[in-house]
Amino acid sequence: MSQFINSRRPRRNRKSEAIRAMVEENRVTVDDLIFPMFLLDGKNQKIEVGSMPGIFRFSTDLMLKEIEECLKLGIRAFDVFPAVEDQHKDKTATKSYDPNFFYLRALREIKKQFPEACIMTDIAMDPYSSDGHDGLVKDGKILNDETLEILGKMALAQADTGIDILGPSDMMDGRVGYLRDVLDKNGFMEVSIMSYTAKYASGFYNPFRDALDSAPKFGDKKTYQMNPANRTEALIEAQLDTEEGADFLMVKPALAYLDIIRLLKDNSSLPIAAYNVSGEYSMIKAAALRGWLDGERVMKETLLSMKRAGADIILTYFAKEFASLTN
């Protein structure tokens, strides 16, 4: 028999479920999660996203029921995205700040019925833009400073509905400071900003764009979203967002960017959010449906990897499924 020179045996701390639980270093709970949801105009609408098994687009009446169900499972935070029909889209995203538009009316109703829920919203032009880009387009270029004014109108309209957190996902330079200033000057000092700090130009977003029909009508988003090859650049974005008044910093996507989550966690005192994006969700679901993976186990392992990397908050389409399994 082999003789151990060192008497340390790490396996002793793995010998039973009770001991493993005692020494567990990281744990994902429902309180860590934000559930992204897709909102439709109309009534009694529940349409599954073809490329996201188990995820649906809801009209307001059915989204209210879905949120109520999620609250009973312990999910308390929701990120609501609008699926806007083409007839409502234009080059300057005017519907994004129309108080009578279905998205803003729905947000107001959600907060009225569920004041205890934390509601996050999206600040970017692409759901409302006929060009499908996050910023204003002129001669094939995305205009930065001109976009900020539109984002400011959007932010004020959303804040006025009573929501809790704004999520600027547009990646325009200076938008966090601009939005913070606009919000404060108009009396919305309590509205938080979760900045999409390190949002990469990724191939993992396609199912989300299917859900909202918001893909760019030309080109790509590489002139404003980050290069997947870059790490140090995330620190520059984080420093700027912090100085401009962000309350949370987000990394998107999450699974292929665990190193960036850890980088921001190690270099910031702000809470770090990770967006477990649509493509990450869909590839697990697709493999599980074919029997190639244990979907439940891989879901939990994936979320745990984000937590272990340093995420304080995880936006994930697995939120309801995770909550159902842990209740």
Annotated binding-site residue? 296: no
Nearest Cα neighbor of 194 from 253, 241, 243 is 241
Spatial separation of the C-alpha atoms in residues 163 and 157, rounded to whole Å = 10
* Pairing of the two strands 56-59 and 46-48: antiparallel
Spatial separation of the C-alpha atoms in residues 54 and 285, rounded to whole Å = 9
Amino acid identity of residue 149, one-letter, is E
Q: Is residue 233 within 8 Å of residue 226, measured between CB atoms?
A: yes
Q: Is residue 311 within 8 Å of residue 82, measured between CB atoms?
A: no
At 24, is the secondary structure helix, strand, or coil?
coil
Q: How far is CA 183 from CA 150, 176, 186, in A?
A: 13, 10, 5
- Quote the crossing angle between the two packed helices 102-113 and 60-73, to the nearest 10°: 40
* Pairing of the two strands 77-82 and 118-123: parallel
At 71, is the secondary structure helix, strand, or coil?
helix
Spatial separation of the C-alpha atoms in residues 24 and 238, rounded to whole Å = 30
Spatial separation of the C-alpha atoms in residues 39 and 83, rounded to whole Å = 6
Amino acid identity of residue 179, one-letter, is L
Hey, which residues are catalytic here? 199, 252
- 139's tokens: 């001669």
Q: Which residues line the annotated binding site?
A: 237
Q: Which residues line the annotated binding site for Mg(2+)?
A: 237
